[in-house]
Amino acid sequence: MDSSRKFNLNIFAKKLAYYINLLLPPCHLKPDQLDGGNSIIRIVAISCVLFIHVRTYLNQYIQDIFPVNSCCSCCFWAVPAFICLSGKLIPIKIPYKLFYKKSFNKIFLPTIFWSIVFSIFVFFKSEHSMKAIINNFINSRPFFHLWFMFMLCGLYLLAPLCSILIRKIPFGYLLPLMFLVMFKPEIWDSPPWCYPLLISLPYIILFLTGSLITHSHITKKIGLFSCLSALCYLLFMGIVIPNYSNKLLQYPYHHYLGFFGYLGGTSITIGVLWLGTFIPNNIKVIVFKISQLVYGVYFMHPLIMILIKLIKFQSLNCLSFWFIYIVTWLICFISTICCKKIPFLQHFL
């Protein structure tokens, strides 16, 4: 009887994996060519960004505040890590014309499309004037989450320059510039550094760091040290900062360009890239396919959050908040899968 149940469970698991696999995008690479660590970072990083945004949206309803604050504080490594992963494309090894063509289809076109979608939404929902909409574009924020895509578009435009820098200048020469950016990271949030293209300049160091990380051989010692550094970062951000931030120096610990953003982003990236080498090939294929949907989750999640917020919550404790977060993530993920099946929309996700 037990063996029969076990057999039935195995069949069920295989069938479930088969049907899930049908829903996910195709994988045209061989399993041994896939970088499992890269895929995992992309999935977890987008999940962390989503957590921060859901936390912000539902802030007024949350009662059991510390666990949520603690988890949220541990999520700010995600943007620096994503920029590090994007740095893998430099130095550019294809003609610039082909590079920009691929970048336009993958990054610029979806950013333009969703900027227009959210601008129309803001125009009708908030009765913003056209002048206000244009001003949002000038400040790289057609909607709050799209600043990241504007910044990423700028990095892709500057990628040929970054490619020359990484080839011609030793990375050690850029360290003074890195510390200059980290010293007062909040300076880079004000005009003119919020304007398109200029918004990307402070992030070039992270972009170049990502190139160095993703093209280097990560030894066991480096991998273990990075995992330990990542653990220390998460403990510090998750326990010390929520409890003692008022007693510490008033440094912007959660700023993406700050020292802790850099530390968390790079240490977690290196650690997970190293751990990714131990992932079995069949798991690599699944996580790779899921990682191909993260841009869609990022673009669409504010719409789902707005719909969820239409529910009039009285209060949320830690468990109910986590439930809403997971439901939001799943709805975004399933919506992205569905939209990927529509020929028109699949180009923008």
The tens digit of pLDDT for each residue in 175-187 reads 888 888 998 899 9
Kindly state the percentage of the chain with pLDDT values over 90: 48
Q: How far is CA 36 from CA 8, 32, 39, 61, in A?
A: 30, 10, 5, 37
Residues paired with residue 316 on neighbouring β-strands, in sequence order:
62
Q: Which of 42-51, 202-211, 261-270, 309-318 has the lowest mean pLDDT?
A: 309-318
The radius of gyration of the chain from alpha carbons, rounded to an integer in Å, stands at 21
Q: What is the reported pLDDT for 230? A: 96
Q: What ranges do the domains of the chain cover?
A: 33-348
Residue 6 clears pLDDT 50, i.e. is over it = no
Q: What is the reported pLDDT for 12? A: 64
Q: Determine the Cα–Cα distance for residues 236 and 242; give it in Å rounded to an integer.
A: 9
Q: Determine the Cα–Cα distance for residues 151 and 222; give it in Å rounded to an integer.
A: 30
What are the pLDDT digits (tens) for 266-295?
999 999 999 998 888 888 888 888 898 899
Q: For 62, phi and psi rounded to 5 degrees?
A: -80, 125
Burial 8-27 (b: 16+ CB within 10 A, else e): eeeeeeeeeeeeeeeebbeb
Peptide bond preceding 192: is omega within 30 degrees of 0, i.e. cis? yes
Residue pair 152/210 in contact (Cβ under 8 Å)? The answer is no
Residue 15 clears pLDDT 80, i.e. is over it = no
**Collapsing DSSP states into helix, strand and coil, what is residue 316?**
strand
pLDDT confidence bin for 201, thresholds 50/70/90: very high
Residue 1 clears pLDDT 50, i.e. is over it = no
What are the pLDDT digits (tens) for 133-163?
889 899 999 998 999 999 999 999 999 999 9
Residue type, 206: L
Q: How far is CA 297 from CA 70, 87, 303, 320, 334, in A?
A: 23, 21, 10, 21, 9
Nearest Cα to Cα of residue 38 among 337, 287, 296? 287
Residue 187 in tokens: 């300076």
Q: Determine the Cα–Cα distance for residues 70 and 240; give it in Å rounded to an integer.
A: 9
Q: Determine the Cα–Cα distance for residues 108 and 348; give it in Å rounded to an integer.
A: 9
